[in-house]
Amino acid sequence: MNITDFFTYCTGLTATLDQIHLLNSLIDSKSKYILICAGRQTGKTLCCAVAIMYFCFELKRPIKILLVAVDDQKSGEAPIYSKIKEIFKNHPEFRPEAIIEGDVLYKRGFETKSGVYVYAKNAIESKVRGTSADVVFCDEAGLLKPEVIMSAYDCLSGETAKFIVLSTPPKLSTHIFNKWLENPEKEGFEVYHWSEETTNWHSSTELAFKLNNYSSQRYKTEVQGLGLLKAERTYFLNVDDCVEETATVLEESTNVVQVGTDRSHIWISIDWGISPCPTVIGVVEKLGSRFRVLEYQEYLMELPEEFIPKLAAIIHKYDRIEEKPRVYADSKPIKFRGWLEHQRVTVDYVDMLQHKEFMYAQLQDIFKTNHIRIPDSFKNLILELKKYHPHKRTGDDWVDALAMACYQPQTPLGKHQYGRAVAIPNAIGSWSY
């Protein structure tokens, strides 16, 4: 049976032209690296599940197939493997040829009498490592950590060595799937790409609803299966979900732990600005692994004599008997050292050059896990967060301050990175350091 007929035999559905092209390449030994990028619910996983059944029961060459995917929380198994099991269920005629030793093994794979092995692994590096396979499938690769994808790739051995990655384009701009998608030929991939719009099992009403209600980015990725251009990608995910309606968190939040309870800490950051950039102070409250933005101010074109007392006043507002706020400030330029100390503020100076990458990785994670709340009145911060990308040179002072405020250094700040400098007045009455 050819693969198109086999698809219909297994699923009762007629494969689309796009799917037929893909199915043929999935079983073609000449196709080595395959990238499948398509909208949601367009049959990516189904095609791969059918191809695996084809390897097992039509081609019957003794090979090992590794499936790597995030387990579905409800069923506790990978969606691609659930699809295979469903085909088994609907076609008992496959069963005698498969060696399925009890349900435990069946949950994580099976073997056929002709020597095809199928292993379904949860996308955890330690689980994936150590398997050797001729064919590797990474399903919904956008949800997999790049290390896991590469560990899966490292499992490949033998002449067949086929690597298949399928996903809806991930939102995270730095994800390896997006990198491959940008220039697939250079990376050695054949690309299969299709949109929900060209399938006949998504109605025009459904598509119109999505067009009206999804953001343009979401429509492009989730429906059309298109990768986003650099300018369209967001570095921080879920920014909109993290915005709170309450304009003033302190007064109006009733269902959350109030500032001043012993479970929370106040963390403050100061990003010094040299004209035309503003000096920005950001105040966040940390509750366990969650953050709330409490206050933000910026000072532009003001002398230190003018704005330092204002900064100190903000900081002292958050002094508590049991704990003073933690204050981080950019260690550069050093001319600002000592000013706050004169106002009885203890400051840790953070070398942004050394720490920026970690700070941003942490902040990205905080947004990814939806662990921050920003009142909607902080319009500038929200705008900068949405526009931010790593090579941006200007207009990210507020984001810098937020990254620093939420920062938890993995290694303690060293002597060179912080210290309490003392300001010394010079002969003409201004400060030098």
Q: Are 338 and 331 in contact (CB under 8 A)?
A: no
CB of 368 to ligand ATP, least distance (A): 19
List contacts with Mg ion (CB under 5 A).
Answer: 45
**In this structure, what token pair is assigned to residue 123?**
């996308």
CB of 12 to ligand ATP, least distance (A): 9
Determine the size of the site formed for ligand ATP (CB under 6 A). 16
Side chain identity, residue 82: S
Question: With binding defined as CB under 6 A, does residue 45 bind ligand ATP?
Answer: yes
Could you check whether the bond before residue 92 is cis, i.e. omega within 30 degrees of 0? no
Nearer to Mg ion, 139 or 396 (CB): 139
Question: With binding defined as CB under 6 A, does residue 44 bind ligand ATP?
Answer: yes
The terminus-to-terminus CA distance of the chain in angstroms comes to 82
CA distances from 211 to 87, 197, 204, 219, 223 (A): 33, 11, 10, 6, 9
Q: Which of 17, 40, 58, 289 binds ligand ATP (CB under 6 A)?
A: 40
Nearer to ligand ATP, 85 or 356 (CB): 85
The answer for residues whose C-beta is within 8 angstroms of residue 100's C-beta and 6 or more apart is 106, 110
Identify what 426 binds: Mg ion, ligand ATP, none; CB under 5 to 8 Å per kind.
Answer: none
Please tell me whether residue 200 adopts helix, strand or coil conformation.
coil
Identify what 368 binds: ligand ATP, Mg ion, none; CB under 5 to 8 Å per kind.
Answer: none
Question: With binding defined as CB under 6 A, does residue 84 bind ligand ATP?
Answer: no
Question: With binding defined as CB under 6 A, does residue 201 bind ligand ATP?
Answer: yes
Among 12-20, 210-218, 250-258, 331-339, which window interacts with ligand ATP (CB under 6 A)? Answer: 12-20
Question: With binding defined as CB under 6 A, does residue 19 bind ligand ATP?
Answer: yes
Question: What CA–CA distance (Å, rounded) separates 79 from 89?
Answer: 15
| Residue the block writes with tokens 């899966």 | 152
Identify what 209 binds: ligand ATP, Mg ion, none; CB under 5 to 8 Å per kind.
Answer: none
Nearer to ligand ATP, 44 or 210 (CB): 44
Nearer to ligand ATP, 81 or 339 (CB): 81
Q: Are 338 and 421 in contact (CB under 8 A)?
A: yes
Q: Which of 1, 13, 313, 334 binds ligand ATP (CB under 6 A)?
A: 13
Angle between helices 17-27 and 44-54 (to 10 degrees): 40
Nearer to ligand ATP, 221 or 234 (CB): 221
Question: With binding defined as CB under 6 A, does residue 17 bind ligand ATP?
Answer: no
Please tell me whether residue 230 adopts helix, strand or coil conformation.
helix
Question: What CA–CA distance (Å, rounded) separates 371 from 260?
Answer: 20
For 153-195, the DSSP string reads HHTB-TTT-EEEEEESPPSBTT-HHHHHHHSHHHHT-EEEEE-
Nearer to Mg ion, 45 or 364 (CB): 45
Q: Which of 22, 26, 27, 46 binds ligand ATP (CB under 6 A)?
A: 46
CB of 100 to Mg ion, least distance (A): 24
CA 102 from centroid of its chain's CA atoms: 37
Residue numbers at the binding site for ligand ATP (CB under 6 A): 13-16, 19, 38, 40-46, 140, 168, 201
